[in-house]
Amino acid sequence: MAFQISNHLLDGAIQCPSPNCSERDDENEIDLLVIHNISLPPGQFETGCIAQLFCNELDTKAHPYFAEIGHLKVSSHILISRSGAVTQFVPFDKKAWHAGESTFDGRSNCNDFSIGIELEGTDYEEFTDIQYEVLASITNLLIQEYSCLNSERIVGHSDISPGRKTDPGPFFDWVKYRSVTN
């Protein structure tokens, strides 16, 4: 797990550029980290479908659920698989389209000032130990790299979109995660 950040890219991650991103008004304003969960199809892991969704390549006929979401233009900066593999879809200095309608600390549109990390998982089961290890490692690097980001500015998607989103869900162990982050 030897990661480092160079030119807003996570060295050690698989790079899979998503078209679902845009420029930030000011990269110096990156001051929020948002933790998500995702699995595609729901409850299934290591299918490759998350990357397909984030890159607008999801076969909407492959699963009934895909017909419902195939039109979405979404992405995250990072995906951490159940096995701990890391894929980066959007450079950190660009806006990934992960938060949607959201508000934090009186500011709306959290995509403007946040980094989004997806954990492959669901609201209904525990995440893997390696996911926590990798997430903590990446979090610590991000805090070192982006001076406005700190451990007090790490939230779940449910925190910035209450009533609309539930992830990372009740099985995400915040105590375990925070005990290994700066």
Judging by DSSP bridges, how do beta strands 107-108 and 103-104 pair with one another?
antiparallel
Q: Which of 118, 125, 145, 152 is catalytic?
A: 118
Which are the contacts of 30, defined by CB distance < 8 A and separation ≥ 6?
A: 24, 92, 93, 113, 114, 115, 146, 148, 149
Contact 38, 117 (CB under 8 A): no
Tell me the three state secondary structure of residue 120. strand
Residue 118: active-site member: yes
**Would you list the DSSP string of 46-93?**
S-SHHHHHHTT---TTSSHHHHHHTT-----SEEE-TT--EEE-S-TT
User: Among all residues, which ones are annotated catalytic?
Assistant: 118
